[in-house]
Structure 1
Amino acid sequence: MTDQPTAQRVTAPQAAPDAPVFSTAAVVASCVGFVLIGALQALYGPAIPAFREEFGLSPSAAGLGLSAHFIGGVAGVLLFDRLYGRLSNRQILGASYLLMAVGAAGFALAPNWPVGLAAALFAGLGFGGIDYGLNQLFAVGFGRRSTAMLNILNAHFGIGAILGPALIGAVGSEHYPAVFLGFAVANLPLLLCLRGVRDRAPEPGEAMKAEADGRSVLGRSLGSVLAVFVALYLLHVGIEAGVGGWEPTHLETVGYSAGVAATATSVYWLMMTLGRFLVAPIALRFSAQSIIMVSCAGMTVCLLLAAVPGLAPYAYAGVGLFIAPIFPTGLPWLNKAAPQARRAGALVIAASMVGGVVAGPALGKAIEWSGVRAVPLLLGVISALCLAATLWLIRTIRPAAPR
């Protein structure tokens, strides 16, 4: 998969082969950017009571704010993937930050709900551009350290997702416009750090050549490999969202108080963030496929243990720890396995967003049939599918034949 199509390779100035993709300041700014997109995604939920009252919305209508954000995110991933053939990395990232800022400010100042939804869609477009753009550039920009750096980058998303609701809780949901405006302003200084981003990033095939681990995908298997990667991302993000959405209900159903259930869910998100920091040094010593295999196996065991009421809060924390590395670790593996499939990164990142959108309603339907107590078992089955997909990928991405 090529991060920069032919059109850009022709028009972009040639950088020295060993020129870094990011300066130190740009790496720090990218991590701050991920804190901001994590916070943005998490701001809508706690603000729902306030804009329900302001605009006279039903719960389902209020929930459309986050849906509009995710729809914009998927569109942003696909749109900015297309624009990488026409615009430089700096222009793509700059446009994404500006879209997030304008969308967040528009949501804060919206005079009515349709305008608010349009603003959330714009913010989502910028969110998708940053999510895709930085993940792709980190995946090819650090050589052997790419997996470690991706985990660190995505850990900052978790920090934002924790801080966003805490900020709304501290100031009160009725003051959500001020929080969204503050978020919009916080995006703007990051534009100054884009000078530290190299306009022509190395292509995945070029970046991985010196670091290759001697594995390749058979040509006839490429389509199947991409499909299984997409399925892995769709399913594991569905588990991530499913635990985050249904853990409190499940814990209350099996006898825990609402306070304990809420705290345990916060610990789950905290462990996911911590897990990405912890796996960064591990990624320097072990392969991406080994990390993902262990993660899927551990996640499956923890979900099965969560069906035991006395172990459930601790088991859910374990799920957060094991699921943490899958998203950021899979991207370098995909780039090594199929560097010729340029759009693969966009497909799997879009799939991850779709997984977050469909997880709630799909799991809700399954729970209507099986009951709330079956939540960890249902998610455990999905986790087992993730493990099966990972094992299939390991077998299919075969050692390259010696020359």
Structure 2
Amino acid sequence: MTERPTARPVPPDVPLFRRAAVVASCVGFVLIGALQALYGPAIPAFREKFGLSPSAAGLGLSAHFVGGVVGVLLFDRLFGRIGNRRILGTSYLLMAVGAAGFAVAPNWPLALAAALLAGLGFGGIDYGLNQLFAVGFGHRSTAMLNILNAHFGIGAILGPALVGTVGSDRYPALFLAFALVNLPLLLFLKGVRDEIPRPSGATAEPGTAEPGTETPRPRVRSLASVLAVFVALYVLHVGIEAGVGGWEPTHLESVGYGAGLAATATSVYWLMMTVGRFLVAPLTLRFSAPAIVTVSCAGMTVCLFLATVPALAPYAYAGIGLFIAPIFPTGLPWLNRAAPQARRAGALVIAASMAGGVAAGPALGKAIEWSGTRTVPLLLGGISLLCLTATRWLIRATGHAGTGVPSRRAVDGDATVSR
């Protein structure tokens, strides 16, 4: 029989996350970032061990992403039917079992099945923690989401570094170690409240209310349209994120930079994404999510067009990393406020972001075949303009103001912040 969450009201002094659970959640995001980043550097070892072509070896990461999308959608169906701890605990276990299975798989089909299983857990953690952080810290939720997702970036930087240190031929040991490190996180789930948090329509968004006044409910023009544009924004900006990460080295080499500098510049791009999320966290307490996303899209667009100038290109790509960093975590609380009645909205945009990452490679590759590698920043700049257009439409459709200072009432009245 399906377990239903309790319907009784939760005392206002009970936080959604205890402090230790917040730390453990950040560690969990380091791990999912590292897991996603381990597959690529280990491809030479996959090919040698299983006798694979490059395209067949690339299916490992594809299986992981497919599992991730399925995990997001599956655990969204379970969200509200079983407790938060069970969702997160099951996800950690699936990720650990899948990673261990990938390490010891005797053939490639079993390895792909294990990658799919690990991706399933990955999707559950990605969805579950993003969803809970988006509603669990009151007006600080946007800041906490940026900090949480910054830890994903730390893992994404750490994974390839570990492969480079121990060698790709020892990838089974890394995947086994990853599986083992997941298990202690289960102990901290007791610090996560099991009841479903209800997004509050009265939680103030910086810039949407005057001090001492209630925050008005956003004026949503059309729920279906708003959701569709949010999904488009997430697909497009993740496509840019993946496109820069995949094609920056090729573009830089095509305009005269050496392979070593091009690789270093790409590492700096990923580093700036991580740094950008930490830097924007305090800004979310002063400026609204729509304002931050607007500035991010505008800055990203300017930097992409600056990247067409060879002398500026490496620095422009670093700037893209800084500006693109806040969009994913800052957009989720905005979506929750804009469409509080659409419970599955968060799952849709998270799944869409994964799908955008998968589709970006072949779609951009085909466009580059037609136009040449020097047009990479122009192509991505055009997509970035679409992101900016989508953001401006969402601001008009949801009736959000631009910038401002959070009201004292919102700061003092926040009863859900973890102690």
Please report the TM-score for the alignment, with normalisation by the length of structure 1: 0.95
SS in 2 for 1:273: helix
Tell me the equivalent position of 1:209. 202
Tell me the equivalent position of 2:314. 313
Is 2:17 aligned against 1:22? yes
Matching of residues 104-119 of structure 1 within 5 Å: 104-119=99-114
Is 2:150 aligned against 1:155? yes
| Percent identical residues | 80
Q: Is the 8 A contact 2:103 2:171 kept in 1?
A: yes
Which one-letter code corresponds to 1:209 in the other structure? A
Matching of residues 1-400 of structure 1 within 5 Å: 8-9=4-5, 11=6, 14-204=9-199, 206=200, 208-211=201-204, 213=208, 214-218=215-219, 221-398=222-399
Which stretch shows the higher mean deviation, 391-400 or 173-182?
Answer: 391-400
Q: Deviations over 1:251-288 (max 9, x none)?
A: 00000000000000000000000000000000110000
SS in 2 for 1:363: helix
SS in 1 for 2:311: helix
Coordinate RMSD, CA, aligned: 1.5
SS in 1 for 2:271: helix
- Matched residues in 2 for 1:210 and 1:368: separation? 49
SS in 2 for 1:209: coil
SS in 1 for 2:341: coil
Q: Deviations over 1:368-396 (max 9, x none)?
A: 11100000000000000000000000111
Pair 13,121 (structure 1): closer, same or farther in 2 beyond 3 Å? farther
Q: Is the 8 A contact 1:215 1:397 kept in 2?
A: no
Tell me the equivalent position of 2:404. none
- Matched residues in 1 for 2:299 and 2:374: separation? 21
**TM-fit CA distance, 1:24:** 0.4
Pair 253,332 (structure 1): closer, same or farther in 2 beyond 3 Å? same
Q: Which has the higher helix share?
A: 1
Please report the TM-score for the alignment, with normalisation by the length of structure 2: 0.91
Q: Which runs of 5+ in 2 are unaligned?
A: 209-214, 402-419
Q: Which runs of 5+ in 1 are unaligned?
A: 1-5
- Matched residues in 1 for 2:7 and 2:79: separation? 11
Which one-letter code corresponds to 1:270 in the other structure? L
- Matched residues in 1 for 2:261 and 2:196: separation? 47
SS in 2 for 1:86: coil
**TM-fit CA distance, 1:84:** 1.2
**TM-fit CA distance, 1:18:** 3.0
- Matched residues in 2 for 1:163 and 1:341: separation? 36
Q: Is the 8 A contact 1:107 1:177 kept in 2?
A: yes
- Matched residues in 2 for 1:335 and 1:38: separation? 24
Which stretch shows the higher mean deviation, 14-23 or 102-111?
Answer: 14-23
Which one-letter code corresponds to 1:368 in the other structure? E
